[in-house]
Amino acid sequence: MPSNRQILLDNRPEGEAVAGNFKLVTTDTPALKEGEVLVRHHYLSLDPYMRGRMNESKSYAQPQPLGEVMIGGTVGEVVESKHPKFKTGDQVVGMGGWQEYSVVDGNAPGMLRKVDTTHVPLSYYLGAVGMPGVTAWYGLTQIIAPKEGETVVVSAASGAVGSAYAALAKARGCRVVGIAGGPEKCAYAVDELGFDACIDYRQHPDVKTMAKALKEACPNGIDGYFENVGGYILDAVLLRTNAFARVAVCGMIAGYDGAPLPLQNPALILVNRLKIEGFIVSEHMELWPQALQELGTLVAQGKLKPRETVAQGIESAPEAFLGLLKGKNFGKQLVKLI
């Protein structure tokens, strides 16, 4: 069995996460038991939710245990199988974690899924046609539920979730406005992802200037907002919402280091009769097939063209992850393991 390099969570962050929170180790891969599958990972997904799992505080999921392999989505190929459903060479997606190989119980529901790479590249199953894409689909279709002609907004617009959100919303006839960091990301959002407008939050660093930019980009107000960030951007968006607007809360990356996220004008929730709903996409697995089918079709048709930032080698994962938290990535952040 092959040796396996893994990255463990060695200690919990105090404030901002640092590379010293992680530890690289090499272990021997255990021999397979009946029903198990050995997967060699080709790509590892890095996602903002992982920062929340590093804390010990109460959340929607159990904290990442210390001394164990960091949680994370992976795609790769089966290199050995003792399960009738999987054979050597199968392309699969799963939650293999920050390591080069994983041993998976082939009978465990939802742990490993075969994928077709005929029209969709393998890496896309960690982004546009994976958890981030389904996240965008669920927040848009199940919570915001836009009507044709409505204006919808998303923060972190050029990332894996934002790019899928744009394609899905345009397919429903919406005006789609993004918020992203820097002129290059905003140009990409408009020119390649199909956003009608994109606001550079670095040029609008407070509620007043952001609200003014939103007023210009959303002349008919905001009917739906997909929240990935929190902080002053949420305050500015709420100022521009129409009556009965819907807000899907997916992430609050501005608060992941433990800083409080006060809301400046909570009375707007009442005044505008807003619907604000948080969601965790893994709690809605029954809808994933429907979402993945639409996302795969959009990719195959060329209507969803996600960009990827790829770090090389398992040892690069911690620094790539810390860069992701600071917005240094462009599109979906991956680590290539082979």
pLDDT in tens, 4-50: 999 999 999 998 999 999 999 999 999 999 999 999 999 999 998 89
CA distance 225 to 210: 14
330 compared with 270, residue with greater pLDDT: 270
Backbone angles phi, psi at 54, to 5 degrees: -70, -25
For residue range 142-188, list pLDDT tens digits in order: 999 999 999 999 999 999 999 999 999 999 999 999 999 999 999 99
CB atoms closer than 10 angstroms to residue 57: 8
Residue 268 neighbours by CB under 8 Å, 6+ apart:
238, 239, 241, 274
pTM for this structure?
Answer: 0.90
* Banded model confidence at residue 225, pLDDT cuts 50, 70, 90: very high
Provide, rounded to the nearest whole percent, the portion of the chain with pLDDT above 90. 87
For residue range 273-330, list pLDDT tens digits in order: 999 999 999 899 999 999 999 999 999 999 998 899 999 999 999 999 999 999 899 8
For residue range 93-134, list pLDDT tens digits in order: 999 999 999 999 999 988 899 999 988 999 999 999 999 999
- pLDDT confidence of residue 232: 95
pLDDT at 254 over 80: no
Mean pLDDT over the full length of the chain:
95
CA distance 123 to 334: 8
User: Token pair of 210, please?
Assistant: 């952001």
Cβ-contact 334, 123 below 8 angstroms: yes
- pLDDT confidence of residue 16: 92
Average pLDDT over residues 266-278: 97
- Asked which of 65-69, 250-254, 289-293, 295-299 is least confident by mean pLDDT, the reply is 250-254
Q: Which candidate, 141, 172, 144, 174, places its Cα nearest to that of 244? A: 144
Q: b/e for 88-127, b at 16 or more Cβ within 10 A?
A: eebbbbbbbbbbbbbbbebeeeeebeebeeeebebbbbbb
CA 19 vs CA 51, 256, 258, 271: distances in Å? 12, 16, 18, 45
Helix (DSSP H) and strand (DSSP E) numbers for the chain: 9, 15
- pLDDT confidence of residue 280: 93
- pLDDT confidence of residue 109: 85
CA distance 140 to 169: 7
CA distance 13 to 53: 11
**Site of tokens 């604000």:** 276
CA 178 vs CA 33, 131, 186, 243, 284: distances in Å? 48, 20, 8, 21, 25
* Banded model confidence at residue 257, pLDDT cuts 50, 70, 90: confident
Domains and CATH numbers, the chain: 3-127+307-336 (3.90.180.10), 131-282 (3.40.50.720)
- pLDDT confidence of residue 215: 98
**Site of tokens 């994933």:** 288
Residue 274 neighbours by CB under 8 Å, 6+ apart:
238, 241, 244, 245, 246, 247, 268
pLDDT at 136 over 90: yes
Average pLDDT over residues 227-246: 96
Cβ-contact 122, 115 below 8 angstroms: yes
Q: What are the DSSP E strand ranges found in the chain?
A: 3-9, 22-28, 36-45, 74-81, 91-94, 101-105, 112-114, 151-155, 175-180, 197-200, 222-227, 241-249, 275-278, 308-312, 332-336
